[in-house]
Amino acid sequence: MKSTQMPKDNDLDFIKRLLNEDPVTIDLVKSTMDRYHKTDLPSVPVPSRRSKTRFVFSVASLAAVMLFTLPYLSPTMAASMKQVPVLSTLFQFTGDLGLRTADERGWYTSTASQDSHNGISLQVPVVMFDGTRLSLGIERMGQAESTSLPLQSQIKSIHLSIDGRDIQDFQPSQTDNSIDIYSFQGRDKNSSVLEFSNLRNQGGEPFPDHFRLSLEVILEGVDQPYALTVPVRLNVSDLKVYSPHLKHSYQNLTVDLEKVEVTPVTTSISLRLTVDPSDSRHIPLMGYDLFDESGHKLNFLTSHSWNPTDGLVQVTDARYEPLNGYSKTIVIKPYLYLYKDPANKEMIISEDGTPKIRYIPELEMRVALK
């Protein structure tokens, strides 16, 4: 059973700034960082508006799977119970508009999964799956409530399985393109939101609409792992998929927009970046900002990139906050980071601590959602 350790804070700070100009903590998994280093991309530290502290996890199957059925509330009952404000879930306290919307609309499953060791209990009270990402709230109770150590910092590793299958069984076969796990600040230091997505747009196997998710969580200072199992169901059925297949080129770069996926909780784009081998031997570090038809920039959530060939092709799935329901068009603006010295990959940092970027108008894409 493989275990991935948490990254050091100073290693993450630069990447967070790198991936998002906004002060949102983006946490990239070790496997993702390894893929970037292999393509000679700059090594850097990370931020996040969503207060994310991302785990460097390699997820493996659980040694033990809980075999009993856990009770859960239907979305209809959850929605009716939400007439009482104190029943808001952890999702309501995140900086994620999509999760707050799911909380308000009752698009989640409540669970009673809990395990205790050494006077410290972990529970997963809520989970949301919209077909593009899976988010679950996790809370710490008991003796740990008196400690100053946040739950995110106490978690050493997490292993996941779906219906008894190692979650990495769902990654593209015969590749090192692994599924990443992200962690975001919850209501307080004793709570967090974990999140991950499948890699079906990169050749991986999609998650089923209904399954049992098992977690094995190891906490710093606790000698036994926590075993938790939660029922997962597709909480949002309104998934719209668009396949515009737009292709724009600029100098030695070509960007293909392969898919746009829209739910009331998440907006996702899948792109393929190709570099002309006659002009360059490396893929530049490129980001993508997403705007609605009124010019409002959607907050970036997470992304997953992978080089499937010889390093001159990069596929990316990027996720953003949900669109305004009236928006019938999106605009994707690719950008490159600016460097003081491209040779040593030293970036130009603005006064707010984020890397400076340059949009590439020739690669901009306008997509009609109809």
Digit-coded pLDDT (tens) for 340-358: 887 777 899 998 888 999 9
Contacts of 223 (CB under 8 A, 6+ apart): 117, 118
Strand partners, 13: none
For residue 140, pLDDT over 60 is answered with yes
**Residue 310 binned pLDDT confidence (cut-offs 50, 70, 90):** low
Higher pLDDT pick, 41 / 181: 181
For residue 72, pLDDT over 60 is answered with no
Structure token pair of residue 212: 């049992």
**Residue 282 binned pLDDT confidence (cut-offs 50, 70, 90):** confident
**Residue 151 binned pLDDT confidence (cut-offs 50, 70, 90):** very high
End-to-end CA distance of the chain: 46
Label residues 84-102 b or e (16+ Cβ within 10 Å = b).
Answer: eeeeebbbbbbbbbbbbbb
Taking the CA atoms of 73, 78, 84 and 87 in sequence, report the sign of the dihedral they define: positive
Contacts of 253 (CB under 8 A, 6+ apart): 273, 274, 275, 276, 284, 286, 360, 363
Predicted confidence at residue 42, as pLDDT, reads 36
pLDDT, average across residues 261-273? 97
The whole-model pTM stands at 0.77
Structure token pair of residue 9: 């804070």
Predicted confidence at residue 149, as pLDDT, reads 86
Contacts of 361 (CB under 8 A, 6+ apart): none
User: Mean pLDDT: which of 78-82, 107-111, 170-174 is highest?
Assistant: 107-111
pLDDT, average across residues 261-289? 91
| Across 42-46, 93-97, 98-102, 294-298, least confident range | 42-46
Are the beta carbons of 106 and 78 closer than 8 angstroms?
yes
pLDDT, average across residues 152-157? 92
pLDDT in tens, 32-66: 344 443 444 332 333 333 444 444 443 332 222 22
Predicted confidence at residue 5, as pLDDT, reads 42
Tally of CB atoms within 10 A around 300: 23
